[in-house]
């Protein structure tokens, strides 16, 4: 059996292949990568080139229902015998409860990260940070119970809102550096970079305090996503911080193993 895991985010489609020997392992992949979610046929072509026989496709998507359906149709035409599973905020709800008022409206990416974190670090109180196009922060207790969380613009969205929404902050060629330091800005470029990083770090600090206020003594902060490395080195030492790649994809596999 081969399972194709798909994480359709706002800017790209991440994928991972899981084969027979990996199904009972600790969330390991045979292969993985990413493409533009505008070109799902590229992934199908790769599967064909490598002669992968896909039996199941498990997907998380944060894009529109219509766009997701187009991608689903593309894969079903290529692999008509493969079963398709699209998870949502109710995934494994009987095993990991949530305080979300309408659980089905919880983003499937956030739900998958919660499932993965609970699987990888059982019986731990965890702050889960997904640092992608948007930054998401969720609290998971050891019981296990998802208390809810926050959604805020990610690094690039914050930068774009400043450059597009103001006249005086439009800097030619402004881009987030590969490694951000934290300091006091002495020019517009550094003021923007430090301001963006400070806002992300500040949100995490507020989340830590609110977890404490709600009686949750955090054991671990798990960071994932393309901007996680910007945040990891700036975490205080009071709580252990851990960088986990492909947390959504690992959550999809954990869902499969526990369903």
pLDDT for res 37 = 75
Q: What is the CA radius of gyration of the chain?
A: 19
Q: pLDDT per residue over 117-173, tens digit each?
A: 999 999 999 999 999 999 999 999 999 999 999 999 999 898 888 877 665 555 555
Q: pLDDT per residue over 224-250, tens digit each?
A: 999 999 899 899 889 999 999 999 999
Structure letter (DSSP) for residue 245: T
Among residues 250, 41, 14, 253, the alpha carbon closest in space to that of 132 is found at 14
**What is the CA 24 to chain-centroid distance, rounded?**
22
Q: How confident is the model at residue 254 (pLDDT cuts 50, 70, 90)?
A: very high
pLDDT for res 233 = 87
81-95, 185-199, 201-215: the lowest-pLDDT one: 185-199
pLDDT at 185 over 90: no
**What is the CA 86 to chain-centroid distance, rounded?**
16
pLDDT for res 179 = 64
Question: Domains in the chain, ordered, with CATH?
Answer: 3-86 (3.30.420.40), 121-154+186-258 (3.30.420.40)
Q: When comparing pLDDT for 178 and 90, which is higher?
A: 90
The whole-angstrom separation of Cα 193 and Cα 179 is 11
pLDDT for res 23 = 60
Q: Is 136 helix (H, G, I), strand (E, B) or coil?
A: strand
pLDDT for res 174 = 45
Q: pLDDT per residue over 13-61, tens digit each?
A: 999 999 876 566 678 899 999 998 778 889 999 999 999 999 999 999 9
pLDDT for res 109 = 98
Do residues 218 and 242 lie in contact, with contact meaning Cβ atoms separated by under 8 Å? no
Q: When comparing pLDDT for 65 and 190, which is higher?
A: 65
**What is the CA 198 to chain-centroid distance, rounded?**
21
Tell the residue number behind the tokens 């208390």, with chain if given. 147
């Amino acid at each position: 059996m081969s399972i194709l895991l798909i994480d359709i985010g706002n800017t790209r489609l991440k994928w991972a292949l899981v084969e027979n020997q990996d199904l009972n392992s600790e969330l390991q992949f045979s292969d993985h990568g990413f493409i533009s979610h505008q070109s799902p046929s590229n992934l199908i072509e790769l599967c064909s080139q490598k002669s992968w026989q896909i039996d199941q496709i498990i997907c998380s998507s944060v894009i529109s229902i219509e766009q997701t359906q187009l991608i689903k149709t593309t894969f079903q035409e290529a692999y008509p015998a493969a079963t398709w599973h699209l998870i949502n905020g109710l995934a494994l709800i009987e095993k990991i409860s949530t305080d979300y008022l309408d659980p089905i409206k919880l983003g499937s990416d956030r739900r998958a990260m919660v499932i993965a974190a609970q699987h990888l670090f059982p019986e731990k109180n965890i702050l889960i940070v997904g640092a992608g196009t948007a930054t998401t922060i969720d609290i998971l207790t050891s019981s296990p119970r998802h208390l809810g969380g926050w959604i805020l613009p990610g690094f690039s969205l914050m930068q774009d809102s400043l450059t597009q929404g103001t006249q005086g902050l439009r800097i030619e060629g402004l881009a987030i550096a590969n490694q951000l330091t934290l300091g006091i800005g002495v020019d517009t470029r550094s003021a923007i970079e430090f301001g963006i990083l400070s806002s992300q770090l500040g949100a995490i600090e507020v989340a830590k305090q609110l977890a404490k206020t709600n009686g949750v003594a955090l054991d671990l902060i798990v960071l994932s996503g393309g901007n996680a490395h910007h945040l990891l080195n700036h975490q205080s030492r009071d709580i252990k911080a851990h960088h986990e790649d492909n947390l959504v994809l690992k959550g999809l596999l954990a869902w499969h193993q526990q369903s």
